[in-house]
Structures are given as C-alpha cells and as structure tokens.
Amino acid sequence: MPRSAAVPLQTEPATHFDLVSHWRVHAPVERVWAALSDPEGWPAWWPYVQQVRTLREGGRDGVGSVRRIEWSTRLPYRIVIEVEAVESVRHQHLRGRSRGQLDGEGLWLLRAQDDHTDVTYVWRVRLVKRWMRWLAPLLAPVFRWNHDGVMRAGEAGLRQFLER
C-alpha cells in the first residue's frame, strides 16, 4: 500500500480530491499527539509550514480554535487556509475544517503500536482558487505529487523533532 495517495472524488473529479497520507513514527502516541495537537509548533519541525497564527482560542481540548496556516509548497505558490478544530479525542483523532484557498475537512488518526505510532491523515479538499480549478484536469497529478511531498517532509520533520 502506498504511503500517500490522492484520489479525485467521483462527483466533481476536477475540483475535489481525497488526499490520504500514512506515517509511521517511532515514538509513543502521547508524544506524537502532543506535536500534532500543537499547530503553533508545526513550523519548528514541518518545513513547509511557514507560519501559524491563532485567530480564536478553543476549549481545553482545542475544539473551537481557529488558526491561519501559511504553507509553502514544492510548486511556486503558497497556500493560506484557516482551520477550525471541530473534534478532538485525546491520543486518537483530530478533525478540522479548512477554508480559504482550499476548502475541506482534515482528519488525523493515531494508533499506538508496540514500538511506534501509526498516523493516517485524510484530507477531503475542494479547490477554491480559480486558476487551480481551471487547470485541475491537467495538473491533478502535479497537485497530488505536491501534497505527497509536503506530507513526506512533515513525517520526516516530526521524526527528527521527536528524536531530539
């Protein structure tokens, strides 16, 4: 099974994508959870996360918080999205809704194993920028390649961060 895959949805294949990434992190689920549930800390270990700014604080579990995340990419453009945390089950999953240049819903799933944590990220995304929608039929493979690279860099960065 590939570590990352992106599959266009059947309803509107040119503008909607399901993006799925699988990470294996050799660290306890508590440490992986701590890093993933702290988006303000992502720029310290995720090379493509340029800036995270909290727009609204959430509850103790983070639900209700809204953060503006600025991403660089493997391609010559940046993505800025606002993500609202809508669900959090400690050490199991985080769910958020994004809006901005990309609209969608993301779900982090964590599963503790004996010597590592399996992480799956599923992002159902809709292209909002006109140029992306217009070029999506031609550039869908490039968009998938870009997402895969951003996610692989996140996995590598998280591994290094947790080894420190």
Compute φ and ψ for 4, nearest 5 degrees: -140, 145
In contact, 82 and 62? CB cutoff 8 Å: no
Superfamily of segment(s) 4-163: START domain (3.30.530.20)
| Distance in angstroms (rounded) separating the CA atoms of residues 25 and 63 | 25
- The residues spanned by each domain of the chain are 4-163
Q: Which two tokens stand for residue 67?
A: 């953060």
pLDDT digits (tens), the chain, 164 positions: 446 555 444 344 467 889 999 999 999 999 999 999 999 999 999 999 999 999 999 999 999 999 999 999 999 989 999 999 999 999 999 999 999 988 999 999 999 999 999 999 999 998 888 887 888 888 889 989 999 999 999 999 999 999 98
Q: Is 99 exposed, middle or buried (0-12, 13-18, 19+ CB in 10 A)?
A: middle
DSSP state letters, 32-51: HHHHHT-GGGGGGT-TTEEE
* pTM metric for this prediction: 0.87
